[in-house]
Structure 1
């Protein structure tokens, strides 16, 4: 078939691996975005980012559905958080032209270092659900704050969104890592949808390439969610630390490269 180009044959397994990793605790973009930029250098950055969003949203949607079957989600909190994430992911995507990304990298690098150090040292973090005695109103307010923050970040920059969300749900809501990951997928899906809508309206999506990558991403997400739900919270914690460590290495390299 003509559409099965050599470039696409490289992108499909890449999307599978990205979906596999992203479904566990985020980080798929660390694989898929550099892969797109390397394999399709003739395309504009906006088009590659838009195509990444189309592929990612497919795997994230399946992962969210699979987690929702196995984990009880707090929809009272999530409803407002989803709306905030959708709105502010578009705001963040538009704001990207106002502030160069390189100024955000050092800030995110410090944040990621603190997150991975804290998780590594605090052995019981996210191992079991902790009842923080939050009222429904408090949960909604925290959900809105998370939606605003993660929407802005994902729309503006993006790498590590799933991992950051998982950590936030553990700390702010007392979730174990399995429940935190399940909730993070819902907001990650909303953020991807908002950014994809903007990229699509601006004509920055390779629809066929993104759709085929999305199918591969879905297969990876199905494999990943099966493994995660089978082995549970201790496994997710280990994956979380590994993904954050890889993210830190990449952020360090990108930051040094930009400022040298």
Structure 2
């Protein structure tokens, strides 16, 4: 049914465009693209691999837009991006051999915690604050840990990176958003390489959605730079809570299964 296939591809393009817009500001784009591909009938493993391909376009596009306006030094942040990519390679390799149910258990509660932190923290704005962790330590510990998480599971990676940049590195929220996108690009590259080796990438779908991601990320990053903390903070809180609800809405989520046993 060629007409139906064309309609599905168009919907996936639009879903990716919306995801790119949201992801460029607050992360959480996978909350839109992964369910969209599953509803289109794409097998789960191919969904994960293809999602990493199309995410490269969104995170890369947003990174470039933020860099052009001086919010992130791409060359200076390259070592940190490499540690994120290496962490993601390890995570994706682990995801191919062991279950990750324990991550599914914890993730909704961690996301709610992030939403509470940003929602109740009144002094998060454009101005950088005191660093709680030296840049070298941050790059060699926190960054590869989140990259590893992105490779092994993924949802909420942007929120975790934002939390680290604000709470540990002392970045203002717009600067944290810009750096989050560049590190997320690195972790996407690492995980994508693993899925590519395993033949889990649908190129036609991934490239089409990548075009949508690129456009959405350009719009989202420009919107974020114009509005700053006024839009980034509430959207980050909203996306974190929405992602937690989306995860718990799955009847197969371990928490739901556990609750149903009583």
* Same fold, judged at TM 0.5 (above): yes
Query: Kindly tell me: are residues 80 and 144 of structure 1, through their superposed partners in 2, closer, same or farther at Cα, counting changes over 3 Å?
Result: farther
- Runs (5+) with no aligned partner, structure 1: none
What displacement does 1:77 show? 6.7
Please name the residue that 1:96 is paired with: 95
Q: Does 1:38 pair with 2:39? A: yes
2:25 matches 1:29? no
Quote the residue 1:206 is aligned against.
202
**Number of residue pairs matched by the alignment:** 254
Shift of 1:149: 0.7
Q: Say which SS state the counterpart of residue 154 (structure 2) adopts.
A: coil
For residues 1-260 of structure 1, the aligned pairs below 5 Å read 5-39=6-40, 41=41, 43-73=42-72, 78-132=77-131, 138-254=134-250, 255=253, 256-259=255-258, 260=260
Q: Tell me how far apart the structure 1 counterparts of residues 46 and 21 of structure 2 sit (CA, whole Å).
A: 23
Kept after mapping to 2: 8 A contact 1:80/1:140: no
> How far apart are residue 258 of structure 1 and its match?
4.3
| Native 8 Å contact 1:78 1:143 kept in 2 | no
Per-residue deviation, residues 169-225 of structure 1 (Å, max 9, x unmatched) = 001111111000101111100011111111112111110111011111111111111
**Could you state the TM-score of these two structures normalised by the residue count of structure 1?**
0.90
Q: 1:51/1:57 Cα in 2 relative to 1: closer, same or farther (>3 Å)?
A: same
Q: 1:19 to 1:258 in 2, by over 3 A?
A: farther
**Offset at 1:5?**
2.3
Aligned 8 A contact 2:80 2:139 in 1: yes
Distance 1:38 1:133 in 2: 43
* Two-structure CA RMSD over aligned residues (Å): 2.0
